């Protein structure tokens, strides 16, 4: 059984009638987020364009936790639509509406209808780094090699 934590969630007025985020399978890591645009005004995401899509949700995460907004693989595979700033980070002290910044990398316009599952939300613990200024770093076999240096 997975560990769980309590996360307070507030459904804003423009999300009334939409389901709260939910895990879609027994071992899913992410809660699906839905679009909270108007039912009579679908959003059209043109190829190469991006837009901030409202979810109508605000959350209160416990201290030392974050939430990440990640793409849904089905939208990416079928339509080329993904989260532009993946993963988007929601800090424990943020209380505003969760927005999903989508981009259409596909060749066709993508219509976002009210209630459509557009992203997933992952809640995870945070470890804060204590940065220590030093004059030199320890040596490793890899050293300064980066950007494909281990792929030879």
Residues belonging to the binding site for substrate are 72-74, 85, 89-91
**Residue 101 region by backbone torsions, left for phi larger than 0, else alpha for psi between -120 and 50, else beta:** beta
CA atoms within 13 A on the CB side of 111: 7
Q: How distant, in Å, are the alpha carbons of 30, 37, 99 from that of 110?
A: 23, 14, 18
The first and second tokens of residue 78, run together, are 């079928």
Residue whose entry in the numeric block shows the structure tokens 């220590």: 132
- On the question of a cis peptide bond just before residue 87, with omega within 30 degrees of 0, the verdict is yes
């Amino acid at each position: 059984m997975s560990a769980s934590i309590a996360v307070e969630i507030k459904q804003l007025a423009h999300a009334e009638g939409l389901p709260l985020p939910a895990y879609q399978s027994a071992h899913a890591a992410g809660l699906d987020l839905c679009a909270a645009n108007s039912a009579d005004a679908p959003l059209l995401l043109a190829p190469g364009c991006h837009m901030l899509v409202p979810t109508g949700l605000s959350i209160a995460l416990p201290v030392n936790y974050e939430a990440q907004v990640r793409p849904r693989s089905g939208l990416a595979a079928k339509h080329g639509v993904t989260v532009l700033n993946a993963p988007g980070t929601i800090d424990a002290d943020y209380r505003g509406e969760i927005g999903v910044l989508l981009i259409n990398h596909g060749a066709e316009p993508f219509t976002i209808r009210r209630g459509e599952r557009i992203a997933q939300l992952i809640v995870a613990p945070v470890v804060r780094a204590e940065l220590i200024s030093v004059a030199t770093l320890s040596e490793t076999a890899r050293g300064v090699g980066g950007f494909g240096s281990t792929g030879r």
